[in-house]
Protein backbone atom coordinates (compact mmCIF):
# COMPACT_ATOMS: atom_id res chain seq x y z
CA UNK A 1 0.00 0.00 0.00
CA UNK A 2 1.42 3.35 -0.96
CA UNK A 3 1.83 6.17 1.54
CA UNK A 4 -0.76 8.36 -0.20
CA UNK A 5 -3.51 5.73 0.09
CA UNK A 6 -2.69 5.25 3.77
CA UNK A 7 -2.83 9.00 4.40
CA UNK A 8 -6.18 9.28 2.59
CA UNK A 9 -7.64 6.44 4.69
CA UNK A 10 -6.51 8.07 7.93
CA UNK A 11 -7.70 11.52 6.83
CA UNK A 12 -11.10 10.23 5.69
CA UNK A 13 -11.70 8.59 9.07
CA UNK A 14 -10.59 11.67 11.03
CA UNK A 15 -12.48 14.10 8.78
CA UNK A 16 -15.67 12.01 9.01
CA UNK A 17 -15.39 11.85 12.79
CA UNK A 18 -14.88 15.63 12.88
CA UNK A 19 -17.82 16.11 10.46
CA UNK A 20 -15.61 18.07 8.05
CA UNK A 21 -16.57 16.02 4.97
CA UNK A 22 -19.64 14.52 3.36
CA UNK A 23 -20.00 10.88 2.36
CA UNK A 24 -19.64 11.93 -1.28
CA UNK A 25 -16.34 13.65 -0.54
CA UNK A 26 -15.05 10.57 1.31
CA UNK A 27 -16.03 8.33 -1.60
CA UNK A 28 -14.28 10.61 -4.10
CA UNK A 29 -11.06 10.72 -2.08
CA UNK A 30 -10.99 6.96 -1.54
CA UNK A 31 -11.66 6.17 -5.20
CA UNK A 32 -8.89 8.55 -6.24
CA UNK A 33 -6.51 6.78 -3.83
CA UNK A 34 -7.40 3.39 -5.33
CA UNK A 35 -9.36 2.01 -2.38
CA UNK A 36 -11.73 -0.82 -3.33
CA UNK A 37 -13.99 -0.92 -0.25
CA UNK A 38 -14.19 -0.25 3.46
CA UNK A 39 -15.95 -1.73 6.45
CA UNK A 40 -17.16 0.32 9.43
CA UNK A 41 -17.59 -1.75 12.58
CA UNK A 42 -19.71 0.52 14.76
CA UNK A 43 -19.43 -1.68 17.86
CA UNK A 44 -15.63 -1.88 17.70
CA UNK A 45 -15.26 1.77 16.62
CA UNK A 46 -12.99 1.06 13.70
CA UNK A 47 -12.86 1.15 9.93
CA UNK A 48 -10.96 -1.29 7.76
CA UNK A 49 -9.98 -0.10 4.29
CA UNK A 50 -9.15 -2.59 1.53
CA UNK A 51 -7.07 -2.21 -1.60
CA UNK A 52 -7.64 -4.33 -4.73
CA UNK A 53 -4.43 -6.32 -4.06
CA UNK A 54 -5.73 -7.46 -0.65
CA UNK A 55 -3.75 -4.99 1.44
CA UNK A 56 -5.77 -3.45 4.27
CA UNK A 57 -5.51 -0.85 6.99
CA UNK A 58 -7.50 -0.75 10.23
CA UNK A 59 -8.13 2.76 11.56
CA UNK A 60 -9.65 3.53 14.98
CA UNK A 61 -12.81 5.64 14.76
CA UNK A 62 -14.75 7.70 17.25
CA UNK A 63 -17.22 5.55 19.23
CA UNK A 64 -20.90 5.93 18.40
CA UNK A 65 -22.63 7.64 21.33
CA UNK A 66 -25.79 5.53 21.19
CA UNK A 67 -27.44 2.38 22.38
CA UNK A 68 -27.56 -0.23 19.63
CA UNK A 69 -31.03 -1.70 19.22
CA UNK A 70 -31.30 -5.49 19.27
CA UNK A 71 -33.78 -5.61 16.37
CA UNK A 72 -32.80 -4.38 12.91
CA UNK A 73 -35.03 -1.89 11.12
CA UNK A 74 -34.25 -1.49 7.43
CA UNK A 75 -36.79 1.36 7.35
CA UNK A 76 -34.94 3.10 10.19
CA UNK A 77 -31.61 2.77 8.38
CA UNK A 78 -33.20 4.00 5.17
CA UNK A 79 -34.64 7.05 6.95
CA UNK A 80 -31.20 7.91 8.38
CA UNK A 81 -29.62 7.54 4.93
CA UNK A 82 -32.22 9.86 3.42
CA UNK A 83 -31.69 12.44 6.18
CA UNK A 84 -27.91 12.52 5.78
CA UNK A 85 -28.20 12.65 1.97
CA UNK A 86 -30.55 15.63 2.29
CA UNK A 87 -28.09 17.41 4.58
CA UNK A 88 -30.59 17.41 7.46
CA UNK A 89 -28.12 15.59 9.75
CA UNK A 90 -24.37 15.04 9.90
CA UNK A 91 -22.27 11.93 10.46
CA UNK A 92 -22.60 11.55 14.26
CA UNK A 93 -26.37 11.85 14.17
CA UNK A 94 -26.44 9.46 11.22
CA UNK A 95 -24.49 6.90 13.25
CA UNK A 96 -26.78 7.37 16.27
CA UNK A 97 -29.86 6.85 14.10
CA UNK A 98 -28.61 3.72 12.38
CA UNK A 99 -27.53 2.32 15.77
CA UNK A 100 -31.05 2.99 17.09
CA UNK A 101 -32.27 1.07 14.02
CA UNK A 102 -30.16 -1.93 15.05
CA UNK A 103 -27.31 -1.42 12.58
CA UNK A 104 -23.97 -2.60 13.99
CA UNK A 105 -21.84 -2.00 10.91
CA UNK A 106 -21.73 -1.28 7.23
CA UNK A 107 -19.66 -2.11 4.17
CA UNK A 108 -19.10 0.46 1.44
CA UNK A 109 -18.17 -1.02 -1.93
CA UNK A 110 -16.62 1.73 -4.02
CA UNK A 111 -16.35 -0.51 -7.06
CA UNK A 112 -19.94 -1.74 -6.55
CA UNK A 113 -21.24 1.75 -5.77
CA UNK A 114 -23.32 0.69 -2.77
CA UNK A 115 -23.42 0.54 0.99
CA UNK A 116 -24.60 -2.57 2.84
CA UNK A 117 -25.85 -1.93 6.38
CA UNK A 118 -26.28 -4.94 8.66
CA UNK A 119 -27.73 -5.92 12.02
CA UNK A 120 -26.71 -8.39 14.72
CA UNK A 121 -28.41 -11.34 13.02
CA UNK A 122 -27.23 -10.61 9.50
CA UNK A 123 -30.25 -8.60 8.34
CA UNK A 124 -29.28 -6.08 5.68
CA UNK A 125 -30.29 -2.92 3.93
CA UNK A 126 -28.54 -2.25 0.62
CA UNK A 127 -28.24 1.36 -0.49
CA UNK A 128 -26.99 2.16 -4.01
CA UNK A 129 -24.96 5.36 -4.24
CA UNK A 130 -27.08 8.31 -5.34
CA UNK A 131 -26.52 9.52 -8.90
CA UNK A 132 -23.90 12.24 -9.35
CA UNK A 133 -25.22 15.79 -9.26
How far is C-alpha 40 from the geometric centre of its chain's CA atoms?
A: 5
Q: What is the pLDDT of residue 74?
A: 97
36 in a domain, yes or no?
A: yes
29 in a domain, yes or no?
A: yes
Q: What is the pLDDT of residue 133?
A: 53
Whole-Å CA distances, 113 to 17, 31, 43, 77, 80: 22, 11, 24, 18, 18
How many domains does one find in the chain? Answer: 1
133 in a domain, yes or no?
A: no
Q: What is the pLDDT of residue 129?
A: 85
Q: What pTM, to 2 d.p., does this model score?
A: 0.92
pLDDT digits (tens, 9 = 90+) for 116-130: 999 999 999 999 987
Structural domain including 32 reads: 3-128
58 in a domain, yes or no?
A: yes
For residue 97, the domain's CATH number is: 3.30.1810.10
Amino acid sequence: MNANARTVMLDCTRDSDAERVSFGQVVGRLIEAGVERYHADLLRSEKVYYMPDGASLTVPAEPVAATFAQAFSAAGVDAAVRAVQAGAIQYHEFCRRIAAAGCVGYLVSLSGRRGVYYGRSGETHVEPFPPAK
